């Protein structure tokens, strides 16, 4: 475990996001401006107060804009400032917060914007096609592999290992899509039943249509500030108290997929930094990466919120509902709010910020939440990033 002295305390002081939709008319640049502007306004800051900017977005092949990190620098508020782009697949939306946090914690900047975006709609016939290019070009792509394949393979392995039923997994889709009904930016909020999930078209067994989050266009932004600045501009700074990041091997076909060790190690790093021993008891609200319903369960186990194979039981008992003892994805998650890859993770950080500030309105969890965790996962099902925040 890493133990390193952190130079300065860092707080999140503002957040913003666009509508998440299958297709937005806005260009990538316009989406990014909307999110950054909302975040700045909510923090009471102007662009002149910003010292550095971190952009986060997944493959260029989604937007179809090569070097898309540079494409949005002006709209991100990063022109003539230190700017860097994070691209760590699906983990980007949380990984990039670790970049922004470290830029402020190290003293390099007092205020750093971190903006995430994805515009998947330009990619035809389907954004799915862009995913094809992330596989090994020589021993996997010639098989005509499709992104859903690997999730179906992982989901089936997980179900087999712990004897989990599809009915139990479907409960996650039901919960998250219902939670999204209270999110004004959500793309696919819905009141559905377990039967709806089980009767939806099969994509790649055991994955069915309603087990999957949609492709989306959208942007989100959060603003990090040093302790001095944060205390000046707000009475309720949300402090970053732990960060963690881990990647497993790209040889996913050489690994037993039933347990996400990368999530486990990323969680352990963040818990250690935050001096958290029992995450289930010491953290009040969770935003866990859920591009597929089973991934919420898989990651709850990886993050040590329960034993291996126990997450379905907690879900069945309502523990992960907004009024439950361990609320997971009160935003509606990627299943309900949408999944503009990097901005999906960014949205989760925004949600924890709003939850801890008690600004989530109808989505506010019943518990008096003071500590929250945002998690994202990605690449070839091999990486995780974790951010723990506290008011």
Partner 1 sequence: MSLDKISNPEAIKHWTDVIPPEYVYTVGVAGERFFREIKENGRIMGTKCSKCGYIYLPPRIYCEKCFDYIDEWVDVGLKGRVYAYTVTYLDVDGSPLDKPIIFAVIKFDGVYGGLIHRLGEVEPEKVCIGMVVEAVFKDKAERKGSINDIKYFKPSD
Partner 2 sequence: MSVKISKYPGVGLKEEDIKGKKVLTTVWPCNLKYSWSAGVAVGRFLTELKNGKIIGRVCKKCGRILIPPRMYCEWCWKPTDEWVYVKDTGTINTYAITHLATDGVTRLKEPMPIAVIQLDVPAKLPRFFAGFLHYLGEVKPEDVKFGMKVKAVWKPPEERIGSITDIKYFKPV
Between the CA of residue 169 and those of 137, 154, 183, 296, 386, what are the distances in Å? 32, 13, 22, 9, 23
Residue for token pair 């993770």: 345
Rounded least distance, CB 188 to partner 1, Å: 21
Stretch that binds partner 2, among 23-31, 80-88, 191-199, 232-240 (CB under 8 A): 23-31
Among positions 40-69, residues that touch partner 1 (CB under 8 A) are: 40, 46-47, 61, 64
Do 76 and 36 contact (CB within 8 A), yes or no? yes
Note whether 200 binds partner 2 by CB under 8 A.
no
Size of site (CB under 8 A) for partner 2: 71
The first and second tokens of residue 127, run together, are 């954004």
The site partner of 27 among partner 1, partner 2, none (C-beta below 5 to 8 Å per kind) is: partner 1
Task: Give every CB contact of residue 53 below 8 A, 6+ residues apart in sequence.
Answer: 73, 76, 77, 78, 81, 82, 83, 112, 113, 114, 115
Determine how many CB atoms are found less than 10 A away from the CB of residue 189.
20
Identify the bridge partners of residue 388 per DSSP, sorted by sequence position: 242, 373
Q: Which does 75 bind (CB under 5 to 8 A by kind): partner 1, partner 2, none?
A: partner 1
**Per CB under 8 A, 373 contacts partner 2:** no
> Taking CB within 5 to 8 Å according to partner kind, which of partner 1, partner 2, none is near residue 209?
none
- Rounded Cα distance between 28 and 65, Å, is 9
Of residues 140 through 199, those in contact with partner 2 by CB under 8 A are 140, 142-149, 152-157, 160, 183-185
Looking at the Cβ atoms of 30 and 51, the one nearer to partner 1 is: 30
Residue placing its CB nearer to partner 1 in the complex, 26 or 182: 26
Identify which of residues 87 and 261 has a Cβ nearer to partner 2 in the complex: 261
Residues in the chain: 391
CB-based burial label for 47 (10 Å; 0-12, 13-18, 19+): middle
Is 254 a binding residue for partner 1 by CB under 8 A? The answer is no
Q: How far is the CB of 129 from partner 1 (least distance, A)?
A: 5
Task: Find the binder of partner 2 among 47, 49, 87, 128 (CB under 8 A).
Answer: 128
CA atoms within 13 A on the CB side of 282: 15
Stretch that binds partner 2, among 134-142, 224-232, 265-273, 306-314 (CB under 8 A): 134-142
* Tokens of residue 18, six digits: 């666009």
Q: Report which of 189, 58, 188, 54 is spatially closest to residue 123, judged by C-alpha positions.
A: 58
Give yes or no for residue 308 binding partner 2 (CB under 8 A). no
Is the CB of 121 or the CB of 176 nearer to partner 1? 121
Region from 129-137, 220-228, 329-337, 355-363 binding partner 1, contact rule CB under 8 A: 129-137
Question: How far apart are the C-alpha atoms of 101 and 323, rounded to whole Å?
Answer: 31
Structure tokens at 132: 């094809």
For binding to partner 1 (CB under 8 A), which residues are involved?
23-27, 29-30, 33, 37, 40, 46-47, 61, 64, 74-75, 77, 79, 121-125, 129-130, 132-133, 137-138, 141-142
């Amino acid at each position: 475990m890493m133990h390193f002295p952190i130079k300065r305390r860092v707080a999140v002081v503002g957040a913003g996001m666009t509508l998440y939709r299958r297709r937005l008319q806005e260009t990538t640049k316009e989406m990014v401006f909307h999110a950054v502007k909302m975040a700045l306004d909510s923090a009471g800051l102007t662009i002149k107060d910003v010292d550095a900017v971190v952009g986060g977005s997944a493959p260029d092949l989604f937007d179809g804009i090569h070097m898309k990190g540079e494409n949005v620098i002006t709209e991100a508020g990063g022109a003539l400032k230190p700017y860097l782009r994070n691209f760590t697949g699906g983990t980007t939306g949380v990984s990039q917060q670790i970049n922004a946090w470290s830029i402020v914690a190290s003293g390099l900047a007092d205020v750093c914007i971190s903006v995430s975006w994805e515009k998947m709609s330009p990619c035809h016939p389907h954004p799915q096609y862009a995913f094809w290019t992330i596989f090994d070009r020589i021993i996997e792509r010639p098989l005509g592999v499709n992104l859903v394949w690997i999730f179906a393979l992982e989901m089936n392995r997980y179900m087999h290992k712990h004897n989990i039923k599809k009915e139990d997994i479907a409960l996650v889709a039901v919960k998250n899509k219902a939670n999204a009904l209270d999110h004004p930016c959500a793309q696919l909020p819905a009141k559905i039943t377990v039967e709806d999930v089980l009767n939806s078209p099969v994509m790649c067994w055991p994955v069915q249509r309603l087990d999957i989050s949609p492709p989306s266009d959208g942007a989100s932004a959060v603003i990090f500030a040093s302790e001095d600045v944060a205390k000046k501009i707000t009475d309720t700074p949300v402090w970053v108290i732990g960060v963690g990041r881990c990647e497993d091997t790209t040889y996913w076909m050489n690994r037993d997929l039933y347990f996400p060790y990368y999530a486990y190690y990323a969680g352990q790093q963040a818990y250690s930094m935050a001096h958290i021993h029992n995450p289930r008891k010491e953290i009040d609200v969770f935003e866990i990466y859920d591009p597929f319903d089973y991934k919420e369960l898989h990651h709850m186990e990886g993050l040590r919120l329960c034993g291996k194979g126990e997450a379905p039981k907690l879900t069945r008992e309502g523990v992960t509902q907004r009024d439950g003892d361990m609320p997971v994805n009160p935003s509606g998650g990627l299943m309900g709010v949408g999944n503009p890859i990097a901005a999906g993770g960014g949205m989760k950080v925004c949600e924890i910020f709003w939850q801890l500030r008690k600004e989530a309105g109808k989505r506010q969890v019943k518990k008096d939440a003071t500590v929250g965790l945002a998690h994202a996962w990605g690449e070839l099902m091999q990486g995780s990033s974790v951010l723990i925040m506290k008011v």
